[in-house]
Amino acid sequence: MALYVDIHVLQTLPPSNPNRDDTGAPKSASYGGVRRMRISSQAVKRATRKDFEARLPEGNRGIRTKLIVELLAEEITTRDPELAEKAAGLAEIALTEIGFKLKEPRKKKTEEMTEAQLKEAGFLVFISAKQLEHVAEAVVSIAGADDFKKAFKDLKPKNLVDIDHSVDIALFGRMVAEPNSLNVDAACQVAHALGVGAVESEFDYYTAVDDYKNLDDEADEGAGMIGTIEFASATLYRYATINLDLLEENLGSVEVADEAVKLFIDSFIRSMPTGKVTTFANRTLPDAVLVQVRNDQPISLVGAFEAAVVADQQGFVGPAVEQFVSYEQNMREGTGLKPQKALVAWTGDRAAKVQELGERVPLVGLGEAAVEAIRESR
């Protein structure tokens, strides 16, 4: 029986620009015939990953880089300093045998060839610290072989990067164009955060004073800089889901998977992309959260807002929560699909209606409570 964890969040942002497009405007999308504020899933996933990485032991993290040769060479040298001079060459051979495509880096016209200009991967490589250690240990163990390339190939090196996946690789996956045998299917899916009602962007016109010039009484009094920043505000619907069976398969341990779920839920709920955060200081907590453990399929409740919410005299939160609760209840009755367990949290009276959907848990305890619910549902 497959198990899934769905996380639904309603969260209000004040005037802000956490995720902007190529023109500098807050990202947006049309839904239900209405333009809404949007935060891309990529931005949400990175914010979540950076948040829970800070709470993970260093050996359980992944790193995403093109400078994989340099990284592996450093790991080899750490294990055997006598290999320092040929570590880069050994790293190139090893990575090529594993299947990573390497290429010469793009050089600046004024640059001379230096150690920093080692070959790099043709794409961002997502690799865990433990996988990097496995490859380095294998290289060091046969570094003295007459035919290093053949000796390394005999070790079946692809297996070295197909075990001990870090939590972030297990959750978010790893896509390698070639060879695709190195791919890791993502155990979680994250939706674009979407405003529950229509958005109206505005512009902040600002000036900056030249402090030094301002000391001169005879200097002109014009601004040192003039600019504009586009911003918007919205109550957002955020959604993510975790395939527990796939997560356990990726991590190879039920206990580690449970800890990963706890970390992900806590980080997803409390993190937010930081675009223009020093300008707007827009960090807020969710107004309402619903976590559901299911044994049927993941179900996004974004349909609750296909009809855009219209704010009342007290804002969007109350009407949004009411629309959300009504949609979930109708969907449950109409389809017969019911979660195994439902947990809720809210941070203000206007969101209290969400209590009709599940058992109340403190916001900071949702991750742990969800893991307990998962164990009861297995």
pLDDT digits (tens, 9 = 90+) for 232-272: 999 999 999 999 999 999 999 999 999 999 999 999 999 99
In a domain, 216, yes or no: no
At residue 19, the pLDDT reads: 96
pLDDT value, residue 180: 74
For residue 32, give its domain range. 4-61+187-197+234-377
Amino acid at 357: L
Note whether 350 and 270 are same-domain residues.
yes
Q: Beta-strand (E) ranges in the chain? A: 4-16, 28-31, 34-39, 62-65, 102-103, 120-121, 125-128, 188-190, 193-195, 202-208, 225-243, 288-294, 341-346, 359-360
Q: Which two tokens stand for residue 290?
A: 């619903």
Pair (193, 300) in one structural domain = yes
What is the Cα–Cα distance from 323 to 107, expressed in whole angstroms? 56
Burial 293-314 (b: 16+ CB within 10 A, else e): bbeeebbebbebbeebbeeeee
Q: How many domains does the chain have?
A: 2
Residue position matching structure tokens 């609760």: 325
Give the phi and the psi of residue 5 in degrees, each rounded to 5: -120, 120
Q: Does residue 305 contact residue 328 with C-beta atoms inside 8 Å?
A: no
Shared domain for 69 and 87, answered yes or no, is yes
pLDDT tens per residue, range 141-194: 999 999 999 999 999 998 999 888 999 999 999 987 766 778 999 999 999 999
Per-residue pLDDT tens digits for 267-300: 999 999 999 999 999 999 999 999 999 999 999 9
Q: Count the residues in the chain.
A: 378
What does the pLDDT read at residue 263? 94
Q: How many contiguous H segments (helices) and E segments (strands) does the chain have?
A: 12, 14
Same domain? For 339 and 323 the reply is: yes
Contact 3, 293 (CB under 8 A): yes
Query: 143 and 261: one domain?
Result: no
Cβ(92)–Cβ(119) below 8 Å: yes
- According to the model, what pLDDT value does residue 212 have? 80
pLDDT at 178: 66
Which pLDDT value is given to residue 124?
87
C-alpha–C-alpha distance, residues 190 and 207, integer Å: 38
95 and 26, same domain (yes or no):
no
Residue 133's closest CA among 155, 160, 166? 160
Inside any domain, residue 161: yes
Tell me, yes or no, whether 171 lies in a domain: no
Asked whether residue 307 is domain-assigned, the answer is: yes
At 141, list the tokens.
Answer: 């163990």
**pLDDT over 80 at 111, yes or no:** no
Average pLDDT over residues 364-370: 96
pLDDT surpassing 90 at residue 59: no
| Judgement on whether residues 361 and 344 belong to the same structural domain of the protein | yes
Q: Residue 110's pLDDT is what?
A: 52
Q: Which two tokens stand for residue 203?
A: 């512009």
Does residue 179 have a cis peptide bond before it, meaning omega lies within 30 degrees of 0? yes
Question: Is a pLDDT exceeding 70 seen at residue 218?
Answer: no
Instruction: Using the predicted structure, report yes or no on whether residue 214 has a pLDDT greater than 90.
Output: no
pLDDT exceeds cutoff 80 at 219: no
Contact yes or no for 6/299 (Cβ under 8 A): yes
Check whether residue 79 and residue 152 sit in a common domain.
yes
Looking at the domain assignment, is residue 214 inside a domain?
no
C-alpha gyration radius of the chain: 25
On whether residue 226 sits in a domain, the answer given is: no
Given a cut of 80, is residue 231 above it in pLDDT? Answer: yes
Structure tokens at 40: 């891309």
Whether the CB-CB separation of 284 and 12 falls below 8 Å is answered with: yes
Confidence of residue 346 (pLDDT cuts 50, 70, 90): very high
Angle at which helix 87-98 crosses helix 129-141, to 10 degrees, equals 110
| Integer angstrom CA distances of residue 273 from 26, 32, 111, 231, 352 | 12, 25, 35, 14, 26
Residues 19 and 72 in one domain: no
Angle in degrees, 0-180, between the axes of helices 129-141 and 68-79, rounded to the nearest 10? 60
Are 38 and 67 within one domain? Answer: no
Residues 57 and 81 in one domain: no
In a domain, 331, yes or no: yes
DSSP 119: -
Query: What percentage of the chain carries pLDDT values higher than 90?
Result: 76
pLDDT of 132 higher than 60: yes
> Any idea which residue has 């070790």 for tokens?
155
Average of per-residue pLDDT values in the chain: 92
pLDDT of residue 122: 84
Q: Is residue 193 located within the same domain as residue 308?
A: yes
Q: Answer yes or no: is 245 within a domain.
A: yes
Written as one letter, the residue type at 349 is D
| Token pair belonging to 115 | 């150690």
